[in-house]
Amino acid sequence: MFYKNFFKNNRRPLLISLIFFAVVEAVILLSTSYLKQKDINYYLDIFTNNLETNINMTNAHLSELTQSFYDFKINNPKVDAIMAKAAATQDKHERDRLRKELFRLLNDDYKKMHHYGIRQLHFHLPNSISFLRFHRPNKYGDSLQNVRETIDYVNKRRIPISAFEEGRIFNGFRNVYPIFHDGEFVGTVELSFSFLAMQEFLTKTDHTSYLFLIKQEVVNKKVFTSEKRNYQKSEFDGFDYDKATLSKSMQMRLNKMFSINKAISKQVAQRVAKGESFSIYFHQNDIYNDSPIIISFIAVPNLDSKTVAYILNYQFGDTLKILIKNSHMIFIILSLLLIFISLILFIYFYNDEKRRAKIFQDATHDALTGLYNRHAVNYFFKQKIDESKRYHKPLSIIFCDIDFFKKINDTYGHDIGDYVLKGIAAILQNHLRSSDISARWGGEEFIIFLPETSLEEAVAIAQKLRKIIEASLFSSIETTTCSFGVTQLREDDTSDSLLKRVDELLYRAKENGRNRVEND
């Protein structure tokens, strides 16, 4: 009950404080959320750039290995001569003999370099015909024209090129070199390494987890049907996993990474479709409940700078976890500060409301009896008359005067007189309806407004009040009585005419012996 009355009596201060709290709390929430997301995005952008740099450095390192192998083992007169003879002849048996000779010459070196990540050593004739695949020596003679852009590029421009590209069997980060014999172009040679080589190198240095995605349309367009078993459908629409990169020795288990990919696939679909590099953070309790995960998508472009693959990296975001925690702490601190400010605001408006209420009470209520004073009556007198006439509802008025009040003051003193005034005021407050209005008109006179009350009903109320007052004991006074004048508002009445008539009726009650009710 206390809380109910408290909220009811202090509705305005509470409402202002709550609105202030709600508005500022919303601003704090939106601001901290915006700044948190801005910090997260900034952190993720830096994270993506650093990871791209690390991957590019690894790519550069492995490219240097292929360059070294080319410089020391391939770029020599014996290899050039074999390729020149193969390019000059159309004889199948002669090409088979030359192919075997080239295989014997370089196979041991290829096996050694294979341990360092070089997966493909592939020679091609000038017209882009496959001459010798060291990784598939029995598969040759197929045309790579318009299939392998890097080979077409070197055939046309006669200069080396490095780019990622899908092939008939494997994809790879390819380094293609022109081969010349006595100044004549006689073919090309490709040395490439797979993402698996990069993956092994990267996981040893940063101890994180990597996956490799390649577009399905690229695989379907270029890979031999028999070699498509090397790929596995991923959780991302339009992309396959390179099975060779699905290592079980990484920091994060494969099933966890697959679960994460399934959960984020729709979230990243648009950004993946754009072919951009980016990072997101992921936190789902049923997968990892101890830390958010940062998943980075590093775009892998082809020779035409179009993204055809993605390197995916997974790391536990401990630093990001601290950043998010700090953001939450800032929100909590600001919210607690706001609660404190809102409390001060409530106290201010509560005291202001109490001050205003006291001013209103002093201005509109009689200090002795607590009833409305004459100033308040003058304020709502005309209002009540207008309401009655507008809605065609009756309005009656009672004018009450204490009989022989001067004698009471003279005989018993002003303190007893005040006691009588407060007692009669209490009777009016306790025995009138909540819609009725009672006021001290002045001295020992009281006025009562009875909305929606006919004259007959008003007379009955006056008689009831008269009897209660007569039967009440006021200190040492044996009997106190009151005289009443009662009238009902008429159509042509004004506040002055109504008040004059009820005053005359009260005067008549006194002339006719007091302690009675007179009405018109």
Q: What's the mean pLDDT when you consider all of the chain?
A: 91
Domain span at residue 86 reads 45-320
Tell me what pLDDT residue 245 has.
87
Distance CA 422, CA 480 (A): 13
Task: Evaluate if residue 3 carries a pLDDT over 50.
Answer: no
Least confident piece of the model among 16-20, 229-233, 421-425 = 16-20
CATH code, domain with 500: 3.30.70.270
DSSP H or E segment with residue 482: strand 482-488
Considering the domain architecture, whether residues 229 and 87 belong to the same structural domain is answered as: yes
Q: What is the model's pTM?
A: 0.65
User: Do 239 and 214 belong to one domain?
Assistant: yes
Q: Is 444 assigned a catalytic role?
A: yes
Q: What is the CA radius of gyration of the chain?
A: 50
Indicate whether 151 and 270 sit together in one domain.
Answer: yes
- Is residue 382 domain-shared with residue 237, that is, in the same domain? no
Is the pLDDT at 7 greater than 70, yes or no?
no
With a cut of 70, say whether residue 477 has pLDDT above it: yes
* Range of lowest pLDDT (36-50, 173-187, 203-217, 285-299): 285-299
**106 and 162 together in one domain:** yes
Q: Are residues 332 and 378 in the same domain?
A: no
CATH for 293: 3.30.450.20
**What residues are paired with 231 via a beta bridge?**
242
Q: How far apart are CA 102 and CA 86, in angstroms?
A: 10
- Whether residues 349 and 377 share a domain: the answer is no
Same domain as 157, residue 32: no
Percentage of the chain exceeding pLDDT 90: 67
Q: Does the pLDDT of residue 191 top 50, yes or no?
A: yes
Q: How many structural domains is the chain composed of?
A: 3
pLDDT at residue 402, as a whole number: 96
Cβ neighbours of residue 439 under 8 Å, at least 6 residues apart? 366, 371, 372, 373, 374, 376, 377, 446, 447, 448
Identify the active-site residue in 165, 166, 190, 444: 444
- Structure confidence at residue 235 (pLDDT): 95
Give me the mean pLDDT over the 78-85 stretch.
96
Rounded to whole angstroms, how far apart are CA atoms 324 and 318? 10
Assign 85 a pLDDT band (cuts: 50, 70, 90).
very high
Establish how many alpha carbons lie within 13 A of residue 230's alpha carbon, considering only the half-sphere containing its beta carbon. 21
User: Do residues 201 and 84 both lie within one domain?
Assistant: yes
244/385 same-domain check: no
CA dihedral 217, 222, 223, 224 (to 10 degrees): 130
pLDDT for the residue numbered 118: 87
Q: What angle do CA 272, 273, 278 make, to 5 degrees?
A: 30
How many CB atoms are located within 10 Å of the residue 138 CB? 5
Domain boundary among 289, 320, 351: 320
- My answer on whether 381 and 508 are in the same domain is yes
Confidence of residue 10 (pLDDT cuts 50, 70, 90): low
Q: Distance between CA 150 and CA 435 in Å, rounded? A: 96
Helix (H, G, I), strand (E, B) or coil at 372: strand
**How far, rounded to the nearest angstrom, does the alpha carbon of residue 121 sit from its chain's CA centroid?**
53
| Reduced 3-state DSSP string for 265-328 | HHHHHHHHHHCCCEEEEECCCCCCCCCCEEEEEEEEECCCCCEEEEEEEEEECHHHHHHHHHHH
- The answer to whether residues 279 and 380 belong to one domain is no
Of 307, 330, 363, the last residue of a domain is 363
pLDDT tens for each residue of 138-158: 999 999 998 899 999 999 999
Query: Domain boundary residue among 259, 286, 320?
Result: 320
